Amino acid sequence: MRRHASLIVLAVSGVVAGCAARVAPVEPAAPLPVVAPENLVVPEVAPVAPLRDPIDVLIATSEGHFAAGQRELELGHLTAASLLFDKAVDVLHASATGGRGEPRLAAHYERLVSRISALEILALREGDGFTQARTEPAVIDDLLAVATLDLPDPSTATTAIVAADLAETEHDLPIELNDRILSFIELFQGNLRTFMQDSLHRGAKYMPMVQSVFRQEGLPLDLAYLAIVESGFKSNALSRASARGIWQFMPATGKEHGLKQDWFIDERSDPEKSTRAAAQYLKTLNKMFDGDWNLAMASYNAGPGRLQRAVKSSKLNDYWKLTATSRYLPKETRNYVPMIMAAVIIAKNPTQYGFEPGVAPPLAYDRVTVPDALDLRTVAEWTESTIDEIRELNPELRRTITPVGSHELKVPVGTAPIVEARLAEASPATFARFERHTVKSGETLATIARRYKVTTVDLASANGLATKARLATRQTLLIPRAANAALASRPAEPPAASTSASTTLTYWVKSGDTLFGIARQFDTTVDDIKRWNSLTSSRIGIGDRLTIHRNNN
């Protein structure tokens, strides 16, 4: 082989030589530049993506839909959550094994339907009409407790700052410079700094409305800051004495001033309605004490009767003289007015006392008339907002639904036309249905409550009755059990005529389920479930989707 290779080389050389005799000489090429090794540029080669396990892809896709459904559920969007949960299961159904043949898929499948089932049951329970709006402890309890302790002595610097501030800032309340007010300014700048700052921020959205109402009623605008001491501007504040809302109305006082309170609603938590009631009450107290705002504010805390007795027994009608001794009023009332004065001083010039001004857009909303009891989560979904946003706009609602019958609901600005359009096309099933019971001879609230598995307190409250009230034969009672669509979003076969007033939901069969157990859970029968789902036997498997019609009558 080597000899043949040499012959080939020689032959080629001869040909080249012969050609060279007839071709013009070629200029030698320029030498190639020498590139140092460290300067060599090596082109990048894209890495080849590793092949993904198709089972892992299915599980990840299913889990992604489930997680998205959870997020929608947290926002109160039931329909969107249901669609996503359905997708999470449908992804597995679409696999070659139907979600059950491969061990990893089967394990994920079972865990998935168990989680979805648990969330459906939770959503059903939360929307059953019993869920109460959250409340927070009223700050007045803690503030007055602090006021009974030893207060800090005012510093020379604070005294000088406040004196200069009072000389330059106009106030429409009679604020004087004294150690009791200065001590509370020190306290708000010290141990209660966070409370004061948070109150200024919360109050920013309410102040335009409050001052507008007070201006209409001819009240001093500085009185608006009384709400800092009462509630820190928390509309859901509830005191240990059962006072509620921004202005901390007691139940009886609230009713006297037109604030409705029942099982569905407590208008003491309605910022605007309670502010108008507070304005009327403060005007009444002011007249009662001959135009003295200090005594009027003190009576707002202690009650007008108690303050009148203190004035009468002391023969003193000057607040500062009346409260200079502990003989006539408790310490919390003696410190109540100076606490308000300190709050007014700081709120009018927060930066001067080391606080940030409260900044927030003013309270704004649209109003729509809802014809009957409607789940707030449905409203949240229609308006593309969250359940918390709808509740924040309607803090007077004590439940997750609007009251039975017509109700004016506040919705985010710009969404009223959307809600009205959805209401116009809504079916009767959109609204919650409450059961009614006609009282028979010998029945009591307690026996009826046991029959319907509700508390006597809820039953009495829903009907505006005392828990020990006697019932009249043939009296009609509202049973506080609202229907709820839970996570049902798929169209289902219409139920039989006997269940026309029902809630339709989707139930995913989980490990250990039987038709009998599911029937008991939803207060129905095995035969009904089989009929609704066209089942010819009682055999069900994990992940099977069942349509349930929950009777509301």
Write the single-letter amino acid at 358. G
Angle at CA of residue 73, ends 67 and 78, nearest 5°: 125
User: Is the separation of the CB atoms in 368 and 409 below 8 Å?
Assistant: yes
What pLDDT does 221 receive?
Answer: 97
Q: How far is CA 537 from CA 35, 257, 462, 514, in A?
A: 81, 62, 43, 12
pLDDT (tens, 9 = 90+) of the chain, 553 residues, equals 444 444 333 333 443 344 444 444 555 555 555 555 555 555 665 665 567 787 888 888 888 888 888 887 777 676 677 778 888 887 877 776 665 667 888 788 777 877 776 676 556 555 444 556 677 877 777 787 776 677 899 999 999 999 999 999 999 999 989 999 999 999 999 989 999 999 999 999 999 999 999 999 999 999 999 999 999 999 999 998 899 999 999 999 999 999 999 888 999 999 999 999 999 999 999 999 999 999 999 999 999 999 999 999 999 999 999 999 999 999 989 999 999 999 999 999 999 999 999 888 889 999 999 999 998 989 999 999 988 899 999 999 998 889 988 999 999 999 999 999 999 999 887 887 777 899 999 999 999 988 887 888 888 888 888 888 999 999 999 887 544 444 433 333 333 333 334 566 777 777 677 887 788 777 788 888 888 888 877 888 776 778 887 654 4
Are β-strands 435-438 and 502-508 bridged in parallel, bridged antiparallel, or unpaired?
unpaired
| Distance (Å, whole) CA 159 – CA 182 | 7
Determine the length of the chain: 553
What pLDDT does 91 receive?
Answer: 80
| Distance (Å, whole) CA 249 – CA 277 | 9
Q: Which are the contacts of 286, defined by CB distance < 8 A and separation ≥ 6?
A: 292, 293, 296
**266 strand-pairing partners:** 261
| Distance (Å, whole) CA 553 – CA 550 | 9
User: Is the separation of the CB atoms in 225 and 340 below 8 Å?
Assistant: yes
Beta strands in 403-445 (DSSP E): 407-411, 435-438
Instruction: State the burial class of residue 156 (Cβ atoms within 10 Å of its Cβ: 0-12, 13-18, 19+).
Output: exposed
- Selecting among 102, 120, 230, 267, the annotated active-site residue is 230
Residue 544 tokens, joined:
């099977």
What pLDDT does 493 receive?
Answer: 34
Tell me 33's DSSP state: P
| Distance (Å, whole) CA 68 – CA 91 | 14
Which of 394, 399, 442, 453 has its CA nearest to residue 419? 394
Q: Which are the contacts of 422, defined by CB distance < 8 A and separation ≥ 6?
A: 382
Q: Is 267 a known active-site residue?
A: no
User: Is the separation of the CB atoms in 314 and 340 below 8 Å?
Assistant: no
